[in-house]
Amino acid sequence: MYAEELVNRTNSYYYEHDIALIEKRYIPIKIIKTLNENTIIGKLLAKSYVDYCGIYKGKHIEFEVKQTNNNNFDLSLIKQHQLKHLINNKRHGGVAFIIVYFNSLEQFYLISIDNILEWKENNKSNTIKHEFIKDKCQLIEISFPGIIDYLPFIGL
């Protein structure tokens, strides 16, 4: 996934330059059978939370990374338990957001949990319109060498 690849590269950059410690969470899977060196059969052990967690400037950060072919963002791409987890993280003083890559626009946006809650409170649609995202959320430019510097947009 292109978006996760750039986020992983960015997180490595943050780590190497002692800016932040953000790690990818992996899905808890029990390997049942190995078919070959690249393929396994596994069983999901538990619901996973969100893709990434870490610490920046003394604050706990949790976020999800999504990619879409549409110009709008469908909240159904985030599982209910993940959304609840992001809301709880924010409620306990952490920083919670999603990073969305819009393939057709070739743009990354950081959408805070507050933006998501505002949309849900004021709209019946589960699809966040691009106009709202463009007006209320943070556009993240890709910089050399394939970094999407998202930390300046999280409000710390």
pLDDT for the residue 61:
97
32 to 39, 46, 48, 154: CA distances (angstroms) = 11, 15, 19, 40
pLDDT for the residue 100:
97
pLDDT for the residue 126:
92
pLDDT digits (tens, 9 = 90+) for 19-58: 999 999 876 667 778 888 888 777 766 666 888 999 999 9
pLDDT digits (tens, 9 = 90+) for 2-19: 999 999 999 999 999 999
pTM for this model (two decimals): 0.86
The pLDDT mean for the chain works out to 91
Q: Look at residue 119 and tell me whether its pLDDT is greater than 70.
A: yes
Q: Look at residue 111 and tell me whether its pLDDT is greater than 80.
A: yes
pLDDT for the residue 46:
61
